[in-house]
Amino acid sequence: MRFERILSPAQIGRMVRTVRKSAGLRQYELAGAAAVGVRFIVDLEAGKPTAQLGKALQVLGALGCSLSIETPPAPPP
């Protein structure tokens, strides 16, 4: 398991492309597995900033990835 700090849509796109290729999947295969269109995969991998979050989560799930959100520490009282 590898953790990577992601701060931009472009970084998400690069990660999706890397994981997809390492899994030996073509874009249309990932699209079918995630129940999204091929165009969405193309746009997501290109780092499109307006990609739908729900669909992006479907793609991540199809790849076996998960998403974590790190919240800032609570301010001192």
DSSP structure class, residue 74: P
What dihedral angle (degrees, nearest 10) is formed by the CA atoms of 7, 4, 16, 55?
Answer: -60
- Token pair belonging to 16: 């999706």
Please give the Cα distance from 75 to 42 (Å, whole number). Answer: 41
What is the average pLDDT across 20-48?
Answer: 98
DSSP structure class, residue 36: S
Instruction: Spell out the CATH class of 9-62.
Output: mainly alpha
The pTM of this model reads 0.87
Q: What does the domain layout of the chain look like in residue ranges?
A: 9-62
Convert the pLDDT of each residue in 36-61 to its tens digit.
Answer: 999 999 999 999 999 999 999 999 99
